Structure 1
Amino acid sequence: MSAAEKTYEGQCYCGAVKIAVTGESAAGEGYCHCKSCRSWSAGPVNAFTLWPEDSVQVTQGQELIGEYNANDRSYRQWCTACGGHVLTRHPHWGLTDVYAATIPSYPFEAGVHANYESTVLPMKDGLPKFKDFPAELGGSGELLPE
Structure 2
Amino acid sequence: MISGRCLCSGVRFEVTGEIGPVVQCHCSMCRRANGTAFATNAPVHADAFRIVQGQELITEYESSPGRLRAFCSRCGSPLYSRMPDRPELRRVRLGTLDGDPGARPVAHIWIGAKAPWDTLPEDGLERFDEAPPQPYYTSPGPPR
Task: Place the TM-score, normalised by the shorter chain, in its bin.
Answer: 0.7 to 0.9
1:119 aligns with one of 114, 118, 137: 114
Structure 2 counterpart of 1:109? 104
Counterpart code for 2:2: Y
The CA RMSD over aligned residues, in Å, is 2.0
Structure 2 counterpart of 1:44? 37
Distance 1:138-1:13 versus aligned 2 partners, 3 A rule: closer
CA distance in 2, matches of 1:80, 1:45: 22
CA distance in 1, matches of 2:66, 2:21: 17
TM-score scaled by length of structure 1: 0.81
Structure 2 counterpart of 1:95? 89
Distance 1:78-1:109 versus aligned 2 partners, 3 A rule: same
Counterpart code for 1:116: I
Counterpart contact for 1:28–1:51, Cα < 8 Å? no
Gaps of 5+ in 2: 138-144
Q: Which has the higher contact order (CA 8 A, sep 6+)?
A: 2
Counterpart contact for 2:82–2:90, Cα < 8 Å? yes
Q: Is residue 19 of structure 1 aligned with residue 13 of structure 2? A: yes
Q: Is residue 28 of structure 1 aligned with residue 21 of structure 2? A: yes
CA distance in 1, matches of 2:123, 2:136: 24
Gaps of 5+ in 1: 1-6, 140-146
Q: Work out which of the two has the higher radius of gyration on C-alpha atoms and give 1 or 2.
A: 1
Counterpart code for 1:129: R
1:129 aligns with one of 127, 130, 140: 127
